[in-house]
Structure 1
Amino acid sequence: MTDSLKSDPHFFSAWADSWWDTDSKMNPLKSFNPLRFAYFDPYAADGWEGVRVLDVGCGGGYTTEFLHARGSVVSGVDVSPKLVAAARRHAEQTGKDIDYRVGAAEALPFDDAAFDIVTCVDVLEHVQSPRAAVAEIHRVLRPGGLFMYDTINRTFMSRVMMIWLPERVLGIVPKGAHDWNDFITPAEMNAHLTSAGFTPIGAAKGIAIRGQNKDGSLKAKLTSDISSLYLGVARR
């Protein structure tokens, strides 16, 4: 697939050395975490303090550090050795105890039932096999554990909002970051979840991107529209 991470799993490695720079090309990704966790938080009934959390596809560590700040016992895994090195380096420089490992979502380097919660954000549309990745996430979760994710719907709207506008017009996402053919419809996602043994809970929500602020952060909000980027939660 042309320009797909399925043919280049290390696409984002090119930004590893600058991941945490103030003018990093990846900085807009930080804007999603407050919105994601505004959606996820009600499902984490006991809060995040002391909870064992794995972030699958952690990249350079934006979400793992967000979780660490909430008191979670955090691990992160990414297929890119360069991104894992960048994440480790920043955690060490800022005094954060985060367990980072190199590994694919479809073959997680962790024991069965090792985590209370697994997060996987902006990742499933990039992996070789979303179904295998979801099955592996199920394996590493304890019984009753939660899988919290977001991914991108395969619609005309997502082609406009997630590829054409951010990559080709606004230039806030590197060209080639997404392949529309790799996007996952909610029906397909639910099939992956049920096949793995998950029970979806709650109603999915979307994130609408409205533009970019002067500081590089994104103008975005939670919405009931799931035609583009959408979030969900499932229980093991």
Structure 2
Amino acid sequence: MTERLEQDDHFFSAWANSWWDTDSMMNPLKSFNPLRFAYFDPYLEAGWQDVRVLDVGCAGGYTTEFLDNRGAKVTGIDVSAKLIDAAEKHAAESGRAIDYHVGAAESLPFPDATFDAVTCVDVLEHVQSPAAAVREIHRVLKPGGRFFFDTINRTFRSRVMMIWVPERLLGIVPKGAHDFADFITPEEMNTYLDAAGFTAIGAPKGIAIRGQNKDGSLKAKLVSDMSALYLGVARK
């Protein structure tokens, strides 16, 4: 475990204490993982069992626990000490052996070629330097390792679908969660991948959000339209 940061002003830290509550405002984020991995799975041919995975920007642990359920050997890292505390507490309560660290995506505290795969979902649009984060992810991956990501395109549609509707109209995402200027076009993402030494594989996909179910989960599906939220995979 890395040393805790002295200050924790990360935006999502405000929801750390309620992250795993049944009525948590963060619960809709769980809805994305089944869709994400329906897209990711074909690019990890042998499956996730015993694969050493780093989840960058793990927050309170939704994706790390999703990976743990699939048999992966999971490490999670997040810049927020409060969110890591929430993730560790829930993992301990549910008997999971997930290795959590506090740290930034741009400076990962792991040796070169440590992991078989890295996931980084709903994160790159929040970091200070996406290019540096992608370089660090490339560094800690083993040769041939896979990088699985999603992020948000910078378009008029993404402003409507990822900010105006969820934050201002429906109120299902905290106001200020996203900054339109930080969204990343696919062309920019490809530039970061190329500069880091990655090779993009497969055809990128989008996720369309169609509304919200009565239990708070999101109605969403994989689509070919990448004008809002989109996913990709790259190989070292």
Give TM-score, length-normalised by structure 2.
Answer: 0.96
C-alpha distance in structure 2 between counterparts of 1:169 and 1:16, whole Å: 24
C-alpha distance in structure 1 between counterparts of 2:60 and 2:9, whole Å: 14
Contact 1:53 1:117 in 2 (8 A): yes
Tell me by how many angstroms 1:80 deviates: 0.2
C-alpha distance in structure 1 between counterparts of 2:169 and 2:83, whole Å: 27
* 1:201-225 per-position Cα deviation (integer Å, ceiling 9, x unaligned): 0110000000000100000000000
- Which residue is equivalent to 1:43? 43
Aligned partner letter, 1:30 = K
Is the partner of 2:146 in helix, strand or coil? strand
Tell me by how many angstroms 1:9 deviates: 6.0
Aligned partner letter, 2:105 = A
C-alpha distance in structure 2 between counterparts of 1:65 and 1:114, whole Å: 20
C-alpha distance in structure 2 between counterparts of 1:83 and 1:113, whole Å: 26
Is the partner of 1:234 in helix, strand or coil? strand
Is the partner of 2:144 in helix, strand or coil? strand
- Confirm or deny that 1:54 pairs with 2:54: yes
C-alpha distance in structure 2 between counterparts of 1:133 and 1:115, whole Å: 15
Aligned partner letter, 2:62 = Y
Aligned partner letter, 1:133 = A
- Confirm or deny that 1:167 pairs with 2:167: yes
- Which residue is equivalent to 1:141? 141
- Which residue is equivalent to 2:5? none
C-alpha distance in structure 2 between counterparts of 1:157 and 1:203, whole Å: 21
C-alpha distance in structure 2 between counterparts of 1:202 and 1:47, whole Å: 17
Contact 1:146 1:235 in 2 (8 A): yes
Aligned partner letter, 1:55 = D
Aligned partner letter, 1:130 = P
* 1:30-89 per-position Cα deviation (integer Å, ceiling 9, x unaligned): 000000000000001010000000000000000000000000000000000000000000
Unaligned regions of 5+ residues in structure 1, if any?
1-7
- Confirm or deny that 1:212 pairs with 2:212: yes
C-alpha distance in structure 1 between counterparts of 2:120 and 2:155, whole Å: 21
The runs of 4+ residues in structure 1 deviating greater than 4 Å are none
C-alpha distance in structure 2 between counterparts of 1:111 and 1:66, whole Å: 25
Aligned partner letter, 2:117 = I
Query: How do residues 166-185 of structure 1 correspond to structure 2 at under 5 angstroms?
Result: 166-185=166-185
Aligned partner letter, 1:215 = D
Tell me by how many angstroms 1:111 deviates: 1.1
Query: How do residues 22-37 of structure 1 correspond to structure 2 at under 5 angstroms?
Result: 22-37=22-37
Contact 1:79 1:102 in 2 (8 A): yes
Tell me by how many angstroms 1:109 deviates: 1.1
Unaligned regions of 5+ residues in structure 2, if any?
1-7
Aligned partner letter, 2:180 = W
Tell me by how many angstroms 1:13 deviates: 0.2
Is the partner of 1:192 in helix, strand or coil? helix
Is the partner of 2:154 in helix, strand or coil? coil
Q: 1:117 to 1:9 in 2, by over 3 A?
A: farther
Aligned partner letter, 1:140 = V
Matched positions, count: 229
- Which residue is equivalent to 2:112? 112
Is the partner of 1:16 in helix, strand or coil? helix
- Which residue is equivalent to 2:92? 92
C-alpha distance in structure 2 between counterparts of 1:232 and 1:150, whole Å: 6
* 1:134-178 per-position Cα deviation (integer Å, ceiling 9, x unaligned): 000000000000000000000000000000000000001000000
Contact 1:151 1:229 in 2 (8 A): yes
C-alpha distance in structure 1 between counterparts of 2:171 and 2:220, whole Å: 16
Identity across matched positions, percent: 77
